[in-house]
Structure 1
Amino acid sequence: MRNPALLVIAAAALAGAGVYGWDWYTTGRFLEVTDNAYVQSDVVTVAPKIAGYVARVPVDANQRVAAGDVLLVIDDADYRAKAAQAEAAVQAARASVTVVDSQVALTRSLVKEAEARVESARADQARAQDDLKRYKALNASQYASTQKYQAALADARKAAAAVAQATAALAAERGNLDLLAAQRLQAEAEVARAEASLQEARIALDNTVVRAAGAGVVANRAVEVGQYVAPGRQAMSVVPVDDVYVVANFKETQLARMRVGQSVALHVDAYPDQPLHGVIDSVAPGSGAVFSLLPPDNATGNFTKIVQRVPVKIRLAGAAPAETLLVPGLSVEAEVDTRTEGDRALAGGSFFLAPSTALAAVPKTQP
């Protein structure tokens, strides 16, 4: 009686081993599996750019927000006053330019007047020179007295002095024009400085309202109304739960046949009955130990070989079921099917993504 039972057990064991072996040969040997995987997301840290007292916090923790929604409002009384002061400075600077323009117009009129005086003085000088020549000739032939000749000579000298005086006055007025041109440049520079200060004040005023950069869920809210906040201090976080991905830490011995675009089966511990599908998005350019706070230095001390793990980013293919809430930190089991070809268009099917078109469009910095 024992022999038939043993034969049945042995046959069942052999059949099971055969099925397992066939499954491993046809499928299992092509699968790379790890349970060292977690849901992650690009969490956005929200921090104000300016200091001040919190006036309103219109959102609560765990509340969904859309891009552009108001997250935090800082009391703007001081910043409104600074903006008004900067605007007044701009008006004053522009008025200074107007004053200089008026002075330029007046000086141009004075230049024309000085030019007319020069012409008048030169005409008087020409007349005096002609009189001097006539009286000089008449005096030589004794048809005119020496007194008249001397008077004509004095008039000629006075006319020459008048021309020199008028010419100097004209040069002075023209010099005032050059001075006013420099003063106008200075006034224009003051206007530009005041406008820049006004723009800075307006930016600071706008920064009293902190808005969401993208859609997500508010988390880690650390501010309350009346609290003083400093620039750069974390006020809350926004988690884009609709744009999550999985980071699986595979052993280095599992990477040989992995490529970008290969199919991945995902099993989230929180939802064991709802398997998800994903694809390999990219592979980190180094193991986790390389980017740790204290990277290991294997060239010193005793060496113990430890299998390293490399982060692999997996993006979800298609939308997750409506009843599935994927949030960062959930544990996942990832199963990569290395039989799939992957996306050969991405960097020739290598580990890494092809260069971004946006990055390629950025002009190179000239030395």
Structure 2
Amino acid sequence: MTSIDPAEDRPSLLRSAVPMLLTLCALIAAGLCGWWMWQAYMEAPWTRDGTVRAYVVTVTPQVSGRIVELPIKDDRFVHKGDLIAVIEPDDYQIALANAEAAVARAASDRDNKQAQAQRRAELTAIAVSKEEQQSYEAVADMAVAAYQQALANRDQAKLNLSRTRIVSPVNGYVTNLLAQAGDYATSGQRMLSIVDSDSFWVDGYFEESVLNRIRVGDTARVSLMAYPETLTGHVTGIGRGIAISNTQPDDTGLATVNPIFTWVRLAQRVPVRVVLDQVPPSVTLAAGLTATVSITGPVASTGAGNPSPSEASQGPPR
């Protein structure tokens, strides 16, 4: 009878155990990776629901008239103080001339009335009564008031004339320009709009379940859908209120309460403002661009882990 040496059978046992060990390690690694991705997706403060925003300055003429000059083009950059429109100044120049003439007339009348009041004030009670002296003094005071009013009217006429030249109030880009030279500009009505180039920021709409990991001053990474570059910024504010649909009354004044499933609770989204630290020249910001925002500050890093914007963009929309 032939006996089997255990020492000779040991290599074959090891060879058969290696695939099992490799399979077990692969399963453990896959489980850990899945757990990390789940924690990162569910717990980390990031969102694909981000929007680039900017302040839009509405340029409204303060005087009415026909536009005689419009030295700007749509989507062109203008500096603060640059001339963007000229309203026909003829009527306002005439108004200023009339106001200056009224000032001269009021000054002459004031001097005359003051001289008359001064002469009667120096006369004795025999030559003029006290009542007459007071009357001339009051007339002189009214002449002074009329002169002050003429000065105010002249200043207003000067101001209106200066307002016929409209300059850009901010550095920015002219957008959706519809006005043309020859159009009539009406005081108080929008003539054009300028996107303030110094005011761009990003609003990230985060679920309320991750707000406890976000603090003002945290570092943020912003990935725009239109560009491959990752921008850096910092959190400057967290929204302190959102609209509540249940508080809106209907036509009869009754509360409009939306039905819900008691076993499903949808997390509300709260806007978090992120100011960009630096924008490279290759990136053209425009209000309304879509962005992915990831908070990577020291406070947020205590969470389960934060995916990069490139990793976050590969997951399903949140």
Q: TM-score, normalised by structure 2?
A: 0.78
Please give the secondary structure, in 2, of the residue aligned with 1:243.
coil
Alignment of 1:68-83 (within 5 A): 68-83=81-96
Shift of 1:322: 1.6
Q: 1:170 is matched with which residue: 124, 127, 135? A: 127
Cα-to-partner distance string for 1:151-208 (whole Å, 9 max, x where unaligned): xxxxxxxxxxxxxxxx6x3342x43332221111101111111111111111111111
Residue in structure 2 matched with residue 55 of structure 1 by the alignment: 68
Residue in structure 2 matched with residue 228 of structure 1 by the alignment: 184
Q: 2:280 is matched with which residue: 304, 315, 321? A: 321
Unpaired runs of 5+ residues, structure 1, are 116-166, 343-367
Cα 1:176–1:253 shift into 2, 3 Å: same
The answer as to whether partners of 1:245 and 1:314 remain within 8 angstroms in 2 is yes
Cα 1:301–1:19 shift into 2, 3 Å: closer
1:76 counterpart letter in structure 2:
P
Please give the secondary structure, in 2, of the residue aligned with 1:195.
helix
Residue in structure 1 matched with residue 294 of structure 2 by the alignment: 335
Residue in structure 1 matched with residue 216 of structure 2 by the alignment: 260
Please give the secondary structure, in 2, of the residue aligned with 1:246.
strand
CA RMSD, 1 decimal: 2.9
Please give the secondary structure, in 2, of the residue aligned with 1:256.
helix
**Larger C-alpha radius of gyration, 1 or 2?**
1
Residue in structure 1 matched with residue 78 of structure 2 by the alignment: 65
Pairing 1:309–2:269 present: yes
% identical equivalent positions: 27
Alignment of 1:236-315 (within 5 A): 236-272=192-228, 274-287=229-242, 289-290=243-244, 296=248, 299-304=255-260, 306-315=266-275
Unpaired runs of 5+ residues, structure 2, are 1-14, 302-318
2:179 counterpart letter in structure 1:
V
The answer as to whether partners of 1:67 and 1:215 remain within 8 angstroms in 2 is yes
Please give the secondary structure, in 2, of the residue aligned with 1:213.
coil
Looking at structure 1, the residues matched to 219 and 180 of structure 2 have their Cα atoms a distance apart, in angstroms, of 46
Looking at structure 1, the residues matched to 151 and 33 of structure 2 have their Cα atoms a distance apart, in angstroms, of 80
Cα 1:210–1:8 shift into 2, 3 Å: same
Please give the secondary structure, in 2, of the residue aligned with 1:335.
strand
Aligned length: 279
The answer as to whether partners of 1:30 and 1:339 remain within 8 angstroms in 2 is no
Cα 1:15–1:311 shift into 2, 3 Å: same
Shift of 1:14: 2.1
Pairing 1:15–2:52 present: no
2:187 counterpart letter in structure 1:
P
Looking at structure 2, the residues matched to 68 and 325 of structure 1 have their Cα atoms a distance apart, in angstroms, of 23
The answer as to whether partners of 2:203 and 2:274 remain within 8 angstroms in 1 is yes
Residue in structure 2 matched with residue 345 of structure 1 by the alignment: none
Worse overlay, 29-38 or 333-342: 333-342
The answer as to whether partners of 1:265 and 1:336 remain within 8 angstroms in 2 is yes
Q: Going by fraction, where is helix more abundant, 1 or 2?
A: 1
Please give the secondary structure, in 1, of the residue aligned with 2:240.
coil
The answer as to whether partners of 2:247 and 2:256 remain within 8 angstroms in 1 is no
Cα-to-partner distance string for 1:17-62 (whole Å, 9 max, x where unaligned): 324546777x777621111111111111111111110010011111
Alignment of 1:89-128 (within 5 A): 89-108=102-121, 111=123, 115=124
Shift of 1:236: 1.4
Q: 2:54 is matched with which residue: 41, 53, 57? A: 41
Cα 1:300–1:28 shift into 2, 3 Å: closer
The answer as to whether partners of 1:31 and 1:337 remain within 8 angstroms in 2 is no
Looking at structure 2, the residues matched to 186 and 296 of structure 1 have their Cα atoms a distance apart, in angstroms, of 58
